[in-house]
Chains A and B, each alone.
Chain A
Amino acid sequence: MSARILVRVQKEIFDAAAEAANLTDGRTDIGALVTFMGLCRDEGGALAALEIEHYPGMAEEEIRRVAREAAARWPLEGIAAIHRFGLIRPGESIVLVVTASGHRDEAFAAASFLMDYLKTEAPFWKKKHLVSGTGDWVAAKAEDEAAARKWRSSSRSRSSERDSAA
């Protein structure tokens, strides 16, 4: 299985529909396309902007590594993952994950896996700039770590069960 993998780390706003179309254009074998987009919340009006710092080079490499792992776990036709850095205003997009496969279960699972791993393994750090003028680094959440950890034990066995049941 060789899924097409597209990874980008960029300052600019991306076009989610165009990235999704890029995976399906000219294809007749894709039955499921899952698009996840993470947006910047205003925290009830308190947040002026998020500043996202990244480790150039390693950020791309880590996302690509996670995407390859997703492609090895599920029968995917395509993966697109884009992460922004720099100053991001409330309402703007931060991250995009698109997965394409023959059937929806794989596409949903792979998109969820990609997001869980991206949050804990890809070298990005968010700093909050508040309307009040102060700001601080976002602390890593224990539940994000737990969400990534659950895939280590469960995923492979579940996907092989599904394969044999089909």
Chain B
Amino acid sequence: MRALYFAWVRERIGKTEEELAPPEDVKTVGELMGWLSSQGENYAAAFAQIKTMRAALDRTHVKHDALIGSAREIAFFPPMTGG
């Protein structure tokens, strides 16, 4: 699965995107965030305010309890500030 990071999530992790291979027991978006935050200090910093974190599966906004299923692309980003 391809993961994309935007804004300060991208800056804190230090990557724009990467391929992820989470363990099989990671089923939801929230579980993936929990697993990612254990992958190093940079990830822990990016996912420190986990409640405010937004996510999209295959370019559609999802909540943290959404099942990842067969999604090919997951994106993590802070609340949006466009307009």
Binds A, one of B1-9, B25-33, B35-43: B1-9
Which residues between 24 and 83 of chain B lie within 8 Å of chain A, taking CB atoms?
A: 56, 59-61, 75, 77-83
Question: A136 to nearest B CB, angstroms?
Answer: 8
Provide the residues of chain B in CB contact with A100, threshold 8 Å. Answer: none
Number of A-B contacts (CB under 8 A): 71
User: Would A95 and B80 count as touching, CB distance under 8 A?
Assistant: no
User: Would A61 and B59 count as touching, CB distance under 8 A?
Assistant: yes
User: Would A124 and B78 count as touching, CB distance under 8 A?
Assistant: no
Provide the residues of chain B in CB contact with A126, threshold 8 Å. Answer: 81-82
Question: A87 to nearest B CB, angstroms?
Answer: 15
> Among A54, A121, A140, which residue has its beta carbon within 8 angstroms of that of B61?
A121
User: Would B7 and A127 count as touching, CB distance under 8 A?
Assistant: yes
User: Would B81 and A119 count as touching, CB distance under 8 A?
Assistant: yes
> Among B56, B61, B82, which residue has its beta carbon within 8 angstroms of that of A83?
B82
Provide the residues of chain B in CB contact with A115, threshold 8 Å. Answer: 83
User: Would B8 and A119 count as touching, CB distance under 8 A?
Assistant: no
User: Would A57 and B82 count as touching, CB distance under 8 A?
Assistant: no
Which residues between 108 and 166 of chain A lie within 8 Å of chain B, taking CB atoms?
A: 115, 118-127, 137-140, 144-145
B residues contacting the other copy or chain, number (CB 8 A):
16
User: Would A124 and B83 count as touching, CB distance under 8 A?
Assistant: yes
Does A52 reach chain B (CB closer than 8 Å)? yes
User: Would A95 and B4 count as touching, CB distance under 8 A?
Assistant: no
Provide the residues of chain A in CB contact with B80, threshold 8 Å. Answer: 119-125, 140
> Among B4, B7, B60, B82, which residue has its beta carbon within 8 angstroms of that of A122?
B82
Q: List 22 A-B contacts (CB under 8 A).
A: A38-B83, A52-B82, A54-B82, A55-B75, A58-B56, A58-B60, A59-B82, A62-B61, A95-B82, A119-B80, A120-B79, A121-B80, A122-B80, A122-B82, A123-B75, A123-B77, A124-B83, A125-B82, A127-B7, A139-B79, A139-B81, A140-B79
Q: Which residues of A contact B (CB under 8 A)?
A: 38, 52-55, 57-59, 61-62, 83, 94-95, 115, 118-127, 137-140, 144-145
Q: A55-B59, A122-B80 are in contact. List 7 more A-B contacts (CB 8 A).
A: A55-B4, A119-B80, A119-B82, A122-B82, A125-B77, A126-B82, A138-B81
